[in-house]
């Protein structure tokens, strides 16, 4: 009988161990997630579905809508650029003439309309620059500033010219301080032998208008030092001599 008890004891222990294993508590973190999901299943499903729709909409916008818009606006801006190159700035800006397109005869769009209707495209952004230059060339300087400041392209030359043209417009409006600010921005935007000496010289001239001859001298001397072989650099010594005389420097 004693032997029988000894033989059956391990089996009882094994059963108890199995029961204990089954009674092990559920990981509270997993249980919490499970309970949270059960309580908020409908909301979670709605949110998840909404996120999927947002992702799908973004992909459609980025991969299909914008490329199609870019193709469309490239055809639109061709005519405006053509008139811009002929110095027909009002037509380039406002559009109007009938042109032949793939869709047949139609009224061309000017830079102003293109910038508005295709604002999310690179070409629409470029149209802001063109519109600003058109307004500047027709003497409407505040409108020019408004469009030039909307331009936000990465092209180093165009972005520098846009800043410099903004400075020109402020100078025409007798806001010399703002003109200097934009000339210096244009000079530093992309250091090169074309735009940098041009806008350094313009900043020097604007400083002269304020009778700030020391700052004008600094701008001119920088041209002589860093850009001596450019068109501005070859003539800058005359300006240096002038401001030294005017400012007793």
pLDDT value of position 97: 85
Inform me whether the pLDDT recorded for 69 exceeds 80: no
154-249 placed in CATH 3.40.50.2300: no
**Interatomic CA distance for residues 112 and 124, integer angstroms:** 9
Mean pLDDT of 93-113: 84
In the chain, ranges of CATH 1.25.40.10 domains: 154-249
* pLDDT digit string, tens, across residues 208-239: 999 999 999 999 999 999 999 999 999 999 99
Mean pLDDT of 94-117: 85
pLDDT value of position 5: 47
β partners of residue 106? 99
pLDDT value of position 119: 83
**Interatomic CA distance for residues 109 and 130, integer angstroms:** 13
Q: pTM, whole model, 2 decimals? A: 0.73
Locate 192 and state its tokens.
């090169």
Inform me whether the pLDDT recorded for 58 exceeds 60: no
pLDDT value of position 121: 87
Please name the residues in contact with 83: beta carbons below 8 A apart, sequence gap of 6 or more.
Answer: 89, 91, 92
**Interatomic CA distance for residues 87 and 53, integer angstroms:** 48
Residue with tokens 């919490």: 32
Q: What is the mean pLDDT of the chain?
A: 82
pLDDT value of position 6: 47
Residue of 82, 119, 124, 120 lying closest to 101 (CA atoms):
82
pLDDT value of position 12: 47
Inform me whether the pLDDT recorded for 1 exceeds 50: no
Inform me whether the pLDDT recorded for 60 exceeds 90: no
Inform me whether the pLDDT recorded for 7 exceeds 50: no
What is the 3 state secondary structure string of the chain? CHHHHHHHHHHHHHHHHHHHHHCCCCCHHHHHHHHHHHHCHHHHHHHHHHHHHHHHHHHHHHHHHHHHHHHHHHHHHHHHHHHHHCCCHHHHHHEEEEEEECCEEEEEECHHHHHHHCCCCHHHHHHHHHHHHHHHHCCCHHHHHHHHCCCCCCCHHHHHHHHHHHHHHHHHCCCHHHHHHHHHHHHHHCCCCCHHHHHHHHHHHHHHHCCCHHHHHHHHHHHHHHCCCCHHHHHHHHHHHHHHHHHCC
Locate 71 and state its tokens.
């193709």
Better-scored residue on pLDDT, 56 or 208: 208
Inform me whether the pLDDT recorded for 8 exceeds 50: no
**Interatomic CA distance for residues 85 and 81, integer angstroms:** 6
**Interatomic CA distance for residues 129 and 77, integer angstroms:** 12
Locate 214 and state its tokens.
């020391």
């Amino acid at each position: 009988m004693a032997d029988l008890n000894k033989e059956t004891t391990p089996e009882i222990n094994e059963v108890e161990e199995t029961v204990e294993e089954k009674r092990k508590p559920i990981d509270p973190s997993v249980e919490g997630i499970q309970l949270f999901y059960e309580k908020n299943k409908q909301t979670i499903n709605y949110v998840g579905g909404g996120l999927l729709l947002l992702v799908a909409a973004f992909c459609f916008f980025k991969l299909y809508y914008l490329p199609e818009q870019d193709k469309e606006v490239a055809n639109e801006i061709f005519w405006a650029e053509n008139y811009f190159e002929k110095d027909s700035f009002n037509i380039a800006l406002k559009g109007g003439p009938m042109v032949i397109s793939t869709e047949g005869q139609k009224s061309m769009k000017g830079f102003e309309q293109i910038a508005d209707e295709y604002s999310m495209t690179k070409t629409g952004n470029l149209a802001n620059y063109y519109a600003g230059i058109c307004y500047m060339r027709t003497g409407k300087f505040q409108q020019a500033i408004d469009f030039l400041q909307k331009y936000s392209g990465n092209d180093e030359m165009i972005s520098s010219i846009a800043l410099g043209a903004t400075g020109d417009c402020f100078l025409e409006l007798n806001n010399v301080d703002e003109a200097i600010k934009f000339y210096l921005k244009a000079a530093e935007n992309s250091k090169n032998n074309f735009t940098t000496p041009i806008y350094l010289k313009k900043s020097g001239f604007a400083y002269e208008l304020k009778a700030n001859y020391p700052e004008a001298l600094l701008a001119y001397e920088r041209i002589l030092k860093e850009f001596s072989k450019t068109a501005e650099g070859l003539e800058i010594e005359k300006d240096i001599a002038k401001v030294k005389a005017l400012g007793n420097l």
